[in-house]
Amino acid sequence: MATHLVFLTICIFIDLSSQCSITGYPFENHLSSETPYRLVSNKSFYRIQYDGCTPKKIWMVIRHGTRNPSISKIEQINNRLPDIRDFILENDNLPNGFIKNRDLDLFQKWEPTLNAESKKKLTREGREEMLLLAERMQSKFPELFDNIYSNTSFKFKYTHTQRTKKSALYFVTGLFGKNNAKSVWFPEPLKNDPILRFYKSCTKWYKEVKDDPKLKRINKAFEQSAEMLKTLKVINERLNFSRVSSNLSADDVFLMYKTCAYETAWNKQSKSPWCSPFTEEELKVLEYAEDLELYWQDGYGHELTYKQACPAFSDMINMLISNETYPKVTAYFTHSGTILKMLAHLGLYKDSENLTATNYGKMANRKWRTSFIDSFGSNLAFISFKCNKNNKILTLHQEKVVRLPSCPNSDLCDIKEVISYYSESIEHCDLTSMCAI
């Protein structure tokens, strides 16, 4: 206990944003797709080098940085959380072992801060995530990321949204500085970009996966699971809400969890009061609810979901094998839905069993953890290297080396091996027929 406290104290003085999370605040490891990038990234500025190899090009997809919630979430926050806050403050049984005086002070000061206009906008934290990501990538690969902009050397693209546009702007600011960033050329964003958001025009995927009532039924089934019912009971007891008039529903508890996640992402320095009712045990259950949903919506649950990522995969291969020297850098600013489908397309973070509403316990050590693989600012990068006569590919996810299933025993994978392993994707990528109903 004593060493734990010392560690925490040192952490708070040295660096609020990095390793401390592991020991200090268990909730920071279970925030699912609202996890800020600072909690999962590799913050190294060291150059990435392999003996006898020279980096030639890089192709990357980047989820926009930390943003505000959707309009419906903002409305729920504004309509429901002030009441819950008041119930907590009026409750004579608090503070208790979980809700401390410090938390009550934070609740006392808490007000909703967002309106309809701020929906999904990139936040201060999101801007910083992109600046720092760009700076680190530049120092990891100085041969690729010149610090002087050239329209031939760099290809940037973002989707038709404020959050990806701003993410791109802050990323190029990180590379070239504030003034030079102004001269960077971006193509006009497309509503349904066939590479950055391939799924947007996939009618069959919407019909059979995204809009299929089955997806909601899986979520509902997990809400009825023993783990979720226990979570609700525990939170209601802890807050002494078991009184009929004010007890919390599953929706309330999810809303509190999401607000805990957003406020943690937005503010490095202060703890969100909405995290205080939870211990790691409940957070793991709430995290699983989101992992489950995204597994069936954007992951391994349905073949079509990840099969349709082939245009993005082919774009990457074509860029890396092309004989053209330029562009050296391709960077696409996009969304969680693209990153997750790409990960599943590659066969990364694949568990041997499906996530289901009934196997929470069994999947405790699953690879499919959106808190790690789908944070804000998540990114996937492929770097081609020339090693003597051979062309190889290095893959980074969250700036960490990951090994593709085509080369489980080495970081660098021969491009020929990649092409042969994923030949089905490269040779049969006809979205028109894949997505027709």
Ligand X SMILES: *[C@@H]1O[C@H](CO)[C@@H](O)[C@H](O)[C@H]1NC(C)=O
Interface ranges with ligand X (CB under 6 A): 42, 44, 46, 48, 93, 151, 185, 232-233, 236-237, 240, 244, 247, 321-323, 353-354, 400
Report d(CA 154, CA 208) in Å as an integer: 38
The DSSP result for 357-406, as a single string, is: TT-TTTTTT-S--HHHHS-TT-EEEEEEEEETTEEEEEEEETTEEE--TT
In the complex, what is the shortest distance from the CB of residue 184 to ligand X, in angstroms, rounded to a whole number?
8
Q: Which is nearer to ligand X, 216 or 400 (CB)?
A: 400
Q: Which residues contact residue 389 at a Cβ distance below 8 angstroms, ignoring those fewer than 6 apart? A: none
In the complex, what is the shortest distance from the CB of residue 265 to ligand X, in angstroms, rounded to a whole number?
21
Q: Which is nearer to ligand X, 43 or 109 (CB)?
A: 43
Judged by phi (left if over 0) then psi (alpha if -120 to 50, else beta), residue 320 lies in: alpha
From the list 225, 368, 195, the residue with the least C-alpha distance to 294 is: 368
Report d(CA 407, CA 417) in Å as an integer: 8
From the list 409, 401, 416, the residue with the least C-alpha distance to 49 is: 401
155 neighbors 316 (Cβ within 8 angstroms): no
In the complex, what is the shortest distance from the CB of residue 124 to ligand X, in angstroms, rounded to a whole number?
25
- CA 194, 196, 201, 205 torsion-angle sign: positive
Q: Which is nearer to ligand X, 4 or 233 (CB)?
A: 233
Residue 304: is it exposed, middle or buried by C-beta count within 10 angstroms (0-12/13-18/19+)?
A: middle
Q: Which one-letter DSSP state was computed for residue 48?
A: P
In the complex, what is the shortest distance from the CB of residue 303 to ligand X, in angstroms, rounded to a whole number?
8
In the complex, what is the shortest distance from the CB of residue 123 to ligand X, in angstroms, rounded to a whole number?
26
Q: Which is nearer to ligand X, 48 or 62 (CB)?
A: 48
Report d(CA 262, CA 34) in Å as an integer: 6
In the complex, what is the shortest distance from the CB of residue 149 to ligand X, in angstroms, rounded to a whole number?
10
Q: Which is nearer to ligand X, 100 or 109 (CB)?
A: 100
In the complex, what is the shortest distance from the CB of residue 223 to ligand X, in angstroms, rounded to a whole number?
11
Q: Which is nearer to ligand X, 214 or 428 (CB)?
A: 214
330 neighbors 221 (Cβ within 8 angstroms): no
Q: Which is nearer to ligand X, 252 or 263 (CB)?
A: 252
In the complex, what is the shortest distance from the CB of residue 411 to ligand X, in angstroms, rounded to a whole number?
10
- Strands 329-334, 53-63: parallel, antiparallel or unpaired by DSSP? parallel
**In 15-70, which residue ranges form alpha helices assigned H by DSSP?**
20-24
Q: Which is nearer to ligand X, 4 or 230 (CB)?
A: 230
List of E strands, 64-198: 154-158
Q: Which one-letter DSSP state was computed for residue 329?
A: E
CB atoms within 10 A of CB 63: 26
Q: Which is nearer to ligand X, 129 or 263 (CB)?
A: 129
To the nearest 10 degrees (0 to 180), the angle between helices 226-238 and 250-266 is 70
Q: Which residues contact residue 315 at a Cβ distance below 8 angstroms, ignoring those fewer than 6 apart? A: 59, 195, 330
In the complex, what is the shortest distance from the CB of residue 236 to ligand X, in angstroms, rounded to a whole number?
5
376 neighbors 120 (Cβ within 8 angstroms): no
In the complex, what is the shortest distance from the CB of residue 6 to ligand X, in angstroms, rounded to a whole number?
24
Q: Dig out the tokens for 145 from the structure.
A: 């990321």
Q: Which is nearer to ligand X, 342 or 396 (CB)?
A: 396
Q: Which is nearer to ligand X, 6 or 427 (CB)?
A: 427
CB atoms within 10 A of CB 317: 20
In the complex, what is the shortest distance from the CB of residue 270 to ligand X, in angstroms, rounded to a whole number?
27
